[in-house]
Amino acid sequence: MEGNFNQISLKSLINFIFLSLLLISAISPSKTSKTPSNIITRFQQYLQINTAHPNPNYTQSSNFILSQAKSLNLESQTLEFVKGKPVIILKWSGKNQNLPSIMLNSHTDVVPAEFHKWVHSPFDAHIDGGGDIYARGSQDMKCVGLQYLEAIRRLKSDGFEPVRTVYVSFVPDEEIGGHDGAEKLAESEAFKKMNVGIVLDEGLASPNENYRIFYAERCPWWLVIKATGAPGHGSKLYDNSAMENLLRSIESVRRFRASQFDVVKAGLKAEGEVISVNMVFLKAGTPSPTGFVMNMQPSEAEAGFDIRIPPNADQKSLEERIAQEWAPSSRNMTFELGQFKQKGSVHDKFGNPAITAADNSNPWWSLLVGAIKKANGKVGKPEIFPASTDARYFRELGLPAIGFSPMANTPILLHDHNEFLNQAEYLRGIEIYESIIAEYASYVEPSPTRDEASRAEL
């Protein structure tokens, strides 16, 4: 009896433990590697690495990315075009190596943060009661980099096999111009070998339910206008002083700025579709030990402007406006559009506007929009990115590049204090990328119909 009893109780004990384990795993899904809590933890780990300028910790971010790649069984390659500035390329090989590949790009660096102006420290990745994850880079753009990988993790565990090769690239220095990162990558032999057919890069958060998709970006012109004129006594009224001449220019720039801004305010164009001009510095005056000499009109005065130009704007007429209206030599004025007062190009290397077609003529565009909708996401009207991203280096090569960061119902906080992303929105983004990567990696260009083929022969 004793033995029997023991047997029964042992059996029921085992059953009890087994059922309890089942129950525990059912109600707390955080125990497996696929579950949200691990996904969020990995996101927090990436956010906690301080990759802010001027001293981004690229060693730590690279180690983290490479460890993720290992856990996903992805091939990895670290390219250092400039020492200490690693470009990491992860590769998920497709079944058909002849088809152009897909490149999912993100930058690993972030802009600095003023710690004392944040409610939660910018590199703690603290999650508040409502699920908002506070961190520098939570929107721009560590979210995207890791969402690519999480989407691949899911696709792999579902047994998905890509037809096209998928590359995931992590580049440094985007926030300081990308010259040692994406620009070098785009120019490299390594990139040519990758045979990339489409690049995805960053977009912006959307305060409403529609995701934002960007097909081009404005290019920066950094303009410095210099005025010179005869110096004179502070009490004297005379024409053509440096200050007077510069002020007339500034007035003229302001009128142009207002005309562009009015179009945006009236809702006729989006921010990215007009030319923006903002004065960023003013330099004049004769210094004295206590400040400035007050009874003297200076012989030189300077002002700097940040100008952003959409790719379809008339660059030539803007150049004429600068030369004739804003800095006319007849008023002793000169201007510079140089390096740092940089004059970018809105054209690709073939001389075409650097624009990715945002309609059905571009299968990558239709596939992206279709994939987002398939995952129950909503899409806004195609937009021009108001500032610069690394995507321009790929568009300059004539490649299609689309800017997209899946963040709906989120305030735009990139480069701002208290940048955050809600964890539910982050998880939604992974589903969206899962859908996009599946569509992109399965896409095989339809072979021409017999009719098209015979017409081509003619």
Catalytic residues: 109, 174
**CB-based contact 365:357 (threshold 8 Å):** yes
Strand residues in 44-195 grouped as ranges (E): 75-79, 87-92, 101-107, 126-127, 132-134, 166-171
Q: 415 among the known binding-site residues?
A: yes
**Shortest Cβ 225–Zn ion spacing (Å):** 30
**At which residue do the structure tokens 């001389």 appear?**
351
**Shortest Cβ 414–Zn ion spacing (Å):** 7
**Shortest Cβ 45–Zn ion spacing (Å):** 20
Q: 187 among the known binding-site residues?
A: no
Residue type for position 98: N
- Region binding Zn ion by CB under 5 A among candidate stretches 141-149, 218-226, 278-286, 320-328: 141-149
Nearer to Zn ion, 383 or 439 (CB): 383
Closest CB to Zn ion: residue number: 140
Nearest to 219 by CA among 100, 306, 107, 296: 306
Nearer to Zn ion, 180 or 202 (CB): 202
Residue 274 sits at φ, ψ, to 5 deg, of: -115, 165
Q: 202 among the known binding-site residues?
A: yes
**Could you give the 3-state DSSP secondary structure of residue 242?**
helix
Candidates 125, 141, 372, 402; binder of Zn ion (CB under 5 A) is: 141
What is the total count of residues that contact Zn ion (CB under 5 A)? 3
- DSSP code per residue over 257-277: HHHHHHHHHTTSS-GGGS-EE
- Region binding Zn ion by CB under 5 A among candidate stretches 56-64, 133-141, 253-261, 373-381: 133-141
Is residue 242 a contact point for Zn ion (CB under 5 A)?
no
Nearer to Zn ion, 94 or 122 (CB): 122
In whole angstroms, give the CA distance from residue 162 to residue 3: 58
Is residue 391 a contact point for Zn ion (CB under 5 A)?
no
Residues 6+ apart with CB under 8 A from 106: 141, 142, 144, 145, 148, 168, 169, 170, 171, 201, 202
Nearest to 441 by CA among 204, 97, 142: 97
Is residue 140 a contact point for Zn ion (CB under 5 A)?
yes
Residue 347 sits at φ, ψ, to 5 deg, of: -115, 155
**Which tokens belong to 124?**
């703690």
Q: 175 among the known binding-site residues?
A: yes
- Region binding Zn ion by CB under 5 A among candidate stretches 159-167, 196-204, 261-269, 418-426: 196-204
Q: 417 among the known binding-site residues?
A: no
Nearer to Zn ion, 141 or 436 (CB): 141
Nearer to Zn ion, 141 or 182 (CB): 141
- Annotation: binding site: 107, 140, 175, 202, 415
- Annotation: binding site for Zn(2+): 107, 140, 175, 202, 415
Q: Which residues bind Zn ion (CB under 5 A)?
A: 140-141, 202
